[in-house]
Amino acid sequence: MNLTDEARLFLDEHRIGHLATADREAVPHVVPVCFARISERIYFVADEKPKKHGPRRLKRLANIEQNPRVSLVVDDYREDWSKLAFLLLHLDAAVVEAASEYEEALAALRNKYPRYRTMKLLPATNPLVGMTIRRWHLWRASSEAIA
């Protein structure tokens, strides 16, 4: 499902999203993620930030393996509620296997997040997830929320 130009811009201008996954028992798990968009796909990588058991054993990755349906929320919060906005995406997620797709998505992530340029991110140690949009909804409290 294609995004509008407004929804693409909203994604591209935001730095953090909240990824919701669920295991096969439908137990939810929500974490903040850094993400990048390439065309109509969204990507995140299990990076080198400190993790209890390392990037390959993340709960979000185990959940995606069990249940590939995920959601991502990207939002604006302001005390002035006339400026509230969010984009909710319902997606199908999978670990990227193709080397060319991994390299392209990692380049997009490194372009958006300079900190990733200093990390040694490799398919063997840092799985990268690609997500395809099933449906989405962009909401703004008012037209003044744009900007």
Region 104-130: what's the mean pLDDT? 95
Q: How many residues does the chain have?
A: 147
Average pLDDT across the chain, whole number: 91
Domains of the chain: residue spans and CATH = 5-142 (2.30.110.10)
Which of the 8 DSSP states describes residue 60?
H
Per-residue model confidence as pLDDT tens digits over 14-61: 999 999 999 999 999 999 999 999 999 999 999 876 455 545 578 999
Q: How many other C-beta atoms lie within 10 A of the C-beta of residue 110?
A: 17
pTM of structure: 0.90
In degrees, rounded to 5, the angle at the alpha carbon of residue 101 between the alpha carbons of residues 97 and 104 is 145
